[in-house]
Structure 1
């Protein structure tokens, strides 16, 4: 039955290798489950118990800790260029009026076309928050 020990080691190594290449914070939890099953193997438990421990530990780790680590490590959420503007507060340069198709805001020294989120008229000089980007226009809302 020593081959079971090697099987758990192979599962652990495979999960770690996959995680190293994907960085998706998914297979790392199955590697942890593999370690738990390997420990249970050395404690003398049968293969059924080892598989149950592997699945329980892996799934619990996946669902209970992954969201925390994904948020802390910002996995898969790299905002670049224009997307990084969302949530920023900016000043209206010219009145925003969706009906007349006009309005601009100044963001980091650049003037962008802007439209209001709720079709409201926003006066020059007001502060607004960028909610989304559609094409080359910023969709904004009053602060």
Structure 2
């Protein structure tokens, strides 16, 4: 019977090893800093399985270790990894300062700005405000193919 119990511990350890690898592969494909913490929990649970912990002790270990690491280490890791992400596409436009190329008048439906050598349709964020040609503006949002701007102060 002792040999059978040892085989069960090895089987559970193999399961947790499989889970560790699977969760690590998922993390590598998504880079969301979510599943890696569960991979650590599964890795610690391998040791518990090899030491003979029953399935409930293994599950408890997996849940506690994963949760503690997720709640304590993830915020720190997120701060360090996500500070190098560069805004792209539309996200990069919001907040930019541009020069009005053609007077922006929402009532007349006119307005253009120059951005990186391209001319974009523009509208004021406040309907009654007319922004004259040559004025510096800041993009507050993008609405379709039109930049919504406000006068830079």
TM-score when normalising by structure 2? 0.73
Aligned to 1:96: 104
Aligned residues: 141
Aligned to 2:6: none
Aligned to 2:13: 5
Aligned partner of 1:129 among 125, 130, 138 = 138
Report the structure number with the largest CA radius of gyration: 2
Partners in 2 of 1:57 and 1:127 — Cα distance?
Answer: 53
Q: In structure 2, the residue corresponding to 1:113 is in which secondary structure?
A: strand
Aligned partner of 2:123 among 110, 115, 133 = 115
Segments ≥4 residues shifted beyond 6 Å: none
Q: CA deviation at 1:45?
A: 4.6
Aligned to 1:25: 33
Partners in 2 of 1:43 and 1:142 — Cα distance?
Answer: 68
Q: 1:31 to 1:124 in 2, by over 3 A?
A: same
Q: 1:60 to 1:141 in 2, by over 3 A?
A: farther
Aligned to 2:3: none
- 1:47-99 Cα offsets, whole Å, 9 max, x none, are 3233222112323444554455456545xx87544543222111112221111
Partners in 2 of 1:69 and 1:87 — Cα distance?
Answer: 27
TM-score when normalising by structure 1? 0.77
Could you list the runs of 5+ residues in structure 2 that have no partner in the other structure? 1-8
Contact 2:10 2:50 in 1 (8 A): no
Q: In structure 1, the residue corresponding to 2:25 is in which secondary structure?
A: helix
RMSD: 2.7
Could you list the runs of 5+ residues in structure 1 that have no partner in the other structure? none
Q: 1:79 to 1:10 in 2, by over 3 A?
A: same
Q: 1:91 to 1:71 in 2, by over 3 A?
A: farther
